[in-house]
């Protein structure tokens, strides 16, 4: 990883940006795959009215929850790619051996992952909101809760993906590892929209999500880097 | 410090055998006394009738499910910090029993809920948290099963257990918050009947019995794990000869 | 006796619960016996493999 090493003396932030830009470039070549994640999100959300009764009042009540669960499942899809490609061609091992801080490299990768797999969901959320007849304020809060919650999901997913590197684990094991840990984010994320709709204000929920996002971004790199090291010994 | 002598699998193996046997006796004795008091001494509850007697296994199971996960996290921390095998083997040995208690807690909770509140499943905070805890156990088991190398599996499961244990209070409080918002305090599994002293005694005895049982079973299991992982050593060779498996 | 077993009409729930626990414990103990046997066999196998390879 000579490229990373060159940035080493410029500090961790430069390494992070380098790793992020690299992953973004790779992701650009896999645009179709990323599009599928977005399609999956809308598809899953659309299944619920079909499975239930498209009664507007019911849809307005379940809308935020359904959108959140669909987003949760959609973020699982992109996880396998996070480390799989670099692991397959040996780049990840190089990253481990390089003098550049692994936390920064991992941070860059997860940032790129969030930008390509999660941020688009935040942008698509209004579409899902319209499907369920949510009003403007609810849609805004839904998008905000997703924006704050998806970083936590991204870091939980990164740890799980690193732990299962190169194993015969499928995406169902990734789901089993991530989903129980994601319950608090789900509860407060969907709860934020509900609270706003009930007139109680979503401030507390969004603050909690924001705090969770900060903690995830602080602790996530270290846990993920440790998981990668474990995978390579 | 003399205790560190037992940090090697070879010296821990016989100790685990002794601890296991003693715990087995304690577990059975406590269970017999506890169940006797629970069924023949404790009175019928005037609100719930006889069905409340399920708490003598429901509450100990719920408690053990939670406690065992904490113990797993404790051993996981040691195994990562010291890069040691034995704590990791202890953690591995505890997972099936913890999962079993979580499952029994859910099952007995359902069968207690039906006659008491009319439904088999109640989305109350403790039961829902136990459900998520059960999934966390399954995650540990699934991760262990998917990794071939035992040392890598040790460390991966240790990290997962630590991430899980940090999350458990968060999960519990978020579920509790979610529950009070949606149901109020009308239905709660923690609203046990006003406990007559005999009921409390029986429940405590059963809890200690469950604890002793867990120690018994995990000691047995860790011995099997040790034998398999330390197969290349001389003392295992001697053991195999003694067991008549090897000539 | 059968009146005691009926547990005031709640017998089904009580015995289903205790029954499930009894089953679970029995299953765990049987599994442990199998585990012990299997671990001895596997230990022997891996020793033979090593001897074969060296």
What value of ipTM does the predicted structure carry?
A: 0.91
Domain parsing of chain A, residue ranges: 2-231
- What pLDDT does residue B1 have? 46
| Whether B147 contacts chain A with CB within 8 A | yes
Number of Cβ pairs < 8 A linking chain B and chain C: 95
- What pLDDT does residue A168 have? 75
Chain C residue numbers touching B34 (CB-CB < 8 A): none
| Whether A210 contacts chain B with CB within 8 A | no
Residues A231, A159: Cα–Cα separation, whole Å = 11
Give me the mean pLDDT over the A210-218 stretch: 96
* Structural contact between residues B91 and B164, judged by C-beta atoms closer than 8 angstroms: no
* Structural contact between residues B24 and B237, judged by C-beta atoms closer than 8 angstroms: no
Chain B residue numbers touching A169 (CB-CB < 8 A): 142-143, 146
Q: Strands, E, within C1-49: which ranges?
A: none
pLDDT string in tens for chain B (247-residue length): 455 667 789 899 999 999 999 999 999 999 999 999 988 887 877 777 778 888 899 999 999 999 999 999 999 999 999 999 999 999 999 999 999 999 999 999 999 888 888 888 878 888 899 999 999 999 999 999 999 999 999 999 999 999 999 999 999 888 888 887 776 544 455 555 567 788 888 999 999 999 999 999 999 999 999 999 998 898 998 988 888 877 6
Lowest mean pLDDT, pick from A190-199, A201-210, B26-35, B114-123: B114-123
- Residue B50, classed as helix, strand or coil, is coil
Does residue B234 come out as left (phi exceeding 0), alpha (psi in the -120 to 50 range) or beta? alpha
| Whether B17 contacts chain C with CB within 8 A | no
* Closest chain C C-alpha to B185 CA, distance in angstroms: 24
| Whether C52 contacts chain B with CB within 8 A | no
Listed residue (A70, A206, A72, A74) closest to A132, CA to CA: A70
The DSSP letter of residue B45 is B
- What pLDDT does residue B141 have? 96
Find the CB nearest A227 among B159, B178, B181: B159
More confident residue, A170 or B238: B238
Residue to substitute from B79, B140, B150, B159, interface A, most A β-carbons within 10 A: B159
Chain B residue numbers touching A184 (CB-CB < 8 A): 167, 170-171, 173-174
pLDDT at C2 over 80: no
Q: Which residues have a Cβ under 8 Å from the Cβ of B232 and sit 6 or more positions away? A: C46, C47, C50
pTM of the entire structure? 0.91
- What pLDDT does residue A88 have? 86
Chain C residue numbers touching B227 (CB-CB < 8 A): 39-40, 43
* Structural contact between residues A95 and A83, judged by C-beta atoms closer than 8 angstroms: no
| Whether B245 contacts chain C with CB within 8 A | yes
CB contact under 8 A, B227 and C7: no
Q: Residue A192: enclosing H or E segment and its boundaries? A: helix A171-197
| Whether A193 contacts chain B with CB within 8 A | no
Lowest mean pLDDT, pick from A144-153, B203-212, C1-10: C1-10
* Structural contact between residues B188 and B113, judged by C-beta atoms closer than 8 angstroms: no
Lowest mean pLDDT, pick from A58-72, A129-143, B12-26, C37-51: C37-51
- What pLDDT does residue A4 have? 53
Domain parsing of chain B, residue ranges: 18-242
The DSSP letter of residue B2 is G
pLDDT at A65 over 90: yes
CB contact under 8 A, C47 and B111: no
> Tens digits of per-residue pLDDT, A12-44?
888 899 999 999 998 888 888 889 999 999 999
| Whether C22 contacts chain B with CB within 8 A | no
pLDDT at A212 over 80: yes
- What pLDDT does residue A214 have? 97
| Whether A223 contacts chain B with CB within 8 A | yes
Residue to substitute from A64, A176, A198, A202, interface B, most B β-carbons within 10 A: A176
- Please name every residue paired with B45 in a beta bridge, in sequence order, or none if there are none: B49
């Amino acid at each position: 990883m000579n490229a990373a090493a060159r940035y080493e003396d410029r500090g961790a932030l430069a390494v992070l940006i380098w790793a992020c830009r690299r992953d973004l470039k790779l992701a650009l070549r896999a645009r179709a795959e990323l599009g599928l994640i977005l399609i999956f999100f809308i598809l899953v959300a659309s299944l619920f009215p079909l499975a239930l009764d498209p009664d507007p009042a019911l849809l307005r009540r379940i809308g935020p929850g359904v959108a959140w669960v669909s987003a949760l499942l959609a973020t699982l899809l992109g996880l396998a790619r996070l480390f799989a490609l670099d692991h397959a061609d040996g780049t990840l091992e190089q990253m481990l051996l390089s003098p550049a801080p692994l936390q920064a490299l991992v941070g860059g990768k997860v940032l790129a992952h969030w930008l390509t797999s999660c941020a688009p969901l935040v942008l698509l959320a209004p579409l899902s909101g319209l499907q369920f007849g949510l009003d403007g304020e609810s849609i805004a809060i839904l998008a905000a809760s997703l924006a704050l919650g998806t970083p936590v999901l991204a870091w939980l997913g990164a740890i799980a993906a690193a732990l299962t590197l190169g194993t015969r684990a499928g995406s169902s094991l990734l789901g089993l590892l991530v989903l129980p840990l994601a319950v608090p984010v789900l509860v407060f994320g969907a709860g934020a929209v509900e609270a706003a709709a009930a007139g109680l204000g979503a401030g507390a929920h969004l603050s909690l999500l924001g705090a969770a996002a900060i903690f995830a971004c602080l602790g996530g790199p270290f846990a993920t880097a440790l998981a990668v090291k474990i995978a390579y010994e | 410090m003399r205790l560190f002598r037992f940090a090697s699998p070879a010296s821990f193996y016989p100790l685990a055998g002794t601890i296991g046997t003693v715990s087995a006796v304690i577990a059975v004795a406590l269970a017999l006394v506890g169940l006797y008091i629970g069924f023949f001494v404790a009175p019928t509850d005037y609100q719930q009738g006889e069905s409340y007697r399920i708490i003598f296994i429901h509450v100990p199971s719920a408690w053990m499910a939670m406690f065992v996960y904490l113990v797993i996290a404790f051993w996981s921390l040691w195994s990562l910090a010291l890069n040691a095998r034995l704590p990791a083997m202890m953690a591995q040995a505890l997972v099936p029993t913890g999962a079993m208690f979580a499952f029994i807690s859910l099952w007995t909770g359902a069968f207690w809920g039906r006659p008491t509140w009319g439904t088999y499943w109640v989305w109350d905070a403790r039961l829902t948290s136990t459900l998520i805890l059960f999934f966390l156990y399954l995650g540990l088991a699934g991760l262990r099963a998917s990794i071939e190398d035992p040392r890598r599996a040790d460390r991966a499961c240790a990290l997962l257990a630590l991430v899980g244990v940090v999350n458990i209070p968060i999960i519990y409080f978020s579920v509790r918050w979610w529950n009070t918002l949606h149901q109020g305090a009308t239905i709660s599994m923690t609203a046990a009947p006003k406990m007559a002293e005999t009921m409390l005694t029986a429940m405590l005895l059963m809890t200690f019995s469950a604890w002793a049982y867990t120690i018994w079973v995990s000691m047995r299991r860790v011995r099997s794990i040790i034998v398999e992982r330390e197969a290349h050593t001389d003392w295992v060779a001697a053991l195999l000869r003694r067991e008549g498996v090897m000539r | 006796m059968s009146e005691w077993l009926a547990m005031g009409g709640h017998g089904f729930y009580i015995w289903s619960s205790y029954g499930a626990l009894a089953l679970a414990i029995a299953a765990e103990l049987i599994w442990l016996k199998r585990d012990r046997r299997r671990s001895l066999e596997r230990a022997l196998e891996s020793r033979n493999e090593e001897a074969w390879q060296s």
